[in-house]
Structure 1
């Protein structure tokens, strides 16, 4: 027996490892999806916190500047100076200018990144802290006056003069000096470098920053957009579209996918737009997947090793039993292994051991039956006489009887010739019709020997006449009735044969009304048959069981002084056995 390519151990390892790998893979996918969602949520949350923090810092600084404007409006030193409409001499003017300059410088001391404070009135009074841009031109002043009149505090931006300069944030407020007092305005100039630094320092990701004035439709500031501008600079039209999108949405700038965070300042009204490259978020997911792949590989190797160990442990006895079964052959019916594992493998071992023992017994029985068949055939050969001698002798006697007109002798010789022909035939099976013809010839010979008539009756179902039976199976029973049954002693004695079907079997009843057998005598004869006593019935019993099987055979019934009935049961066969093929 050749071993299969996949043994049970291999199948067990593959099955368990596959189930474990499917479980680990499903867990990894679920974990990866959940982790990706978690990363995205955390990225959005952090960007929101970052934007809020930056805006709060900027707004805190701008509120501080706005507070300076209110301080100037209510300062007791500044009010008298700002309320003047003219000066009597230059000395008074210089004194007020010096005092206001000192006051404005003092205010600037606590305001980092402030470059200058400029105050002017409608009466033409102008004061400066002395910093850069200390004297705005008339066009700028008119613009500040116009814008400051529209809202409480105005924030605007002056673009940088060159690439080395920074834009300037201009805070303009109209001061309320009281009813009937001249109008007064304060303009604060702040270097945007510091404000931009607040946004840049708060970034965790390599994000782009855009400050957008939605009311004016003006971009205030942009930074770190180089990585997103590979297809060209981000235009103000694109920024305006981004400004309209909701906070936390995923958008595209060219071919770049970005997470957009948006927040509006309560102080300036400007909108802070943070653009985080989505690949930075998905990059963490890729690292997680790589880590998962390593973990999955380690778990897979561990699973394979564990499955192999388990297979070695639990399937070892199955392999031993398989090897033992493969070692069993035609001339070797011996299990060269003992299994005492106390599990299903031991049960299989004992079952197979029982099967091997039964095969041994069957082989012994078959050999015995074959031996008995050879002995019976040898006996039949020993009992044979040269058929040519017998036929020639019988034909001579028959010819002499015909010449002398002895018809009885002719009939007897003809019957004997037919009997001898059947006896010497090599056939094992005959049809029931041939068997009955043979019995009639046998009865004719017995009548000639006894010089008396024998009442002989045969009944057979028509469908059974061409069915087959072992040759000369009924004749020994008829001979026993004539020899031991006492049929010839009674003028009313008879022998009756009934042949009929019983399901898939055929039953042959041979009955006579001679001396009869009691129930005890019948049991005694059957017991002797089992032991091998009695030549006639024993041979019949053995032949039936050898050729038809142990479930078939002879049974005897009777009643003392009334009748004896010997019954044979054989299978119904419409064809001769293999011996006659």
Structure 2
């Protein structure tokens, strides 16, 4: 495998760098752009399709609810009319009644039905039929009776008998002169409320415009169709004149599959008259109907056509840009590379003069400048070595002097101390002794010290400060015996003691007390530095911990406290460090916590 890979690399290297760059740039830019464009188009198309299908399904559910509510209301109305005393009487005795009596009964039924259908504007006629199919108009004008031919009425009655008490529906022309004026008939049988025998039938004529309006309200998208169909392949209503009420649905097999439950998906793709549609449907179980929505793919394509056109333009621009920039980039690499190769050939021939200077910042320019610098530095390399050796000698000399000067200062102070002792100047003796001790403490090269030595250094520091502040404060040391040999970093107490004296006790009226205590709790060394000075506000505590300085001459103290805290945390972890407890006007306690180790 590795051998094949090396052979491939060898073949690729036979191609010039410029051509390799152009090819690889186009390959890695054009193909992803095209793939992204195609994938984005299909994702957007499917997203639009899913959104439209989801919206259509919701719209069909709403239409289904409206139709079911209307049919349930009509079912209830038909039952009330059928069981009314006048309807029962008319169906039992129609043959015995005179025309005047029939007219009187029809008037009563008209008044009763009008009360029930006051808000049901879409009901145009209500007709009662005896078993012999003689008619009584219970609702609707007598001069525009619902006209049904005998054959249609016989077939309708047969369907009612088979329905076993359920309502059946059919579509009929209300006006033969105007075939588009259709009515949807709801028919069911009427039984004698006394004997239970069948007395006749009731037909309620519903204006098909009502269902057409529901279909139109549920239609989404230009060129889409919404229709209500029954199990007999009859279109009950639709939103278009292409599929009129009472006509047959163009794909009987599709409807058969729906009624047989062979299409479980509420949204699918179908072909009608060689046109591709998205089919969404809802079943109206009580009526044996389906409400269908057919959204043509041409509508989806129109929705995505603008996006696809924009994508094609973007892809085209990206391809042209990729070719253009690949050519520019390849030249920007190839031209300086050829210049550098020419310089190498010149040096190889023995000419060590500098070549043309390349001021660019890319890698080829760096190689060019590096090669030029290499030629230039060949003539001065020995001088640089000598200068380096001289600088090393100077550094060693300065380091030696840095060690001599503090020792010389300590020795001089020691001479001053003995001179003061000889002259009985005890104050100067004590002051210089403390200063000498502090200087000698600083000479120690170890990073750590013991609590005992750190406390002794603090006592020397306090001695100096007592002379400075003239009995401004008293100091107390309560150092637990078990803490004296514990290890801690050097100079962690001095900045804190300095802060207590300068910012706590010095501004206070009267004499103050500075106490330093140590203890061990749960394997933790605790050092408390407490003063009864002016204290601090919570805001000032936060500033001290962050190292934010007030504008005074002792501003280095706050930085020292922050540095001590950071040193401890860096060395031992975030569990340890410095904490401050203070109350303005009462005093401050700074606590150091460190691991108790020897």
TM-score by length of 1: 0.49
Q: Normalized against structure 2, the TM-score is what? A: 0.47
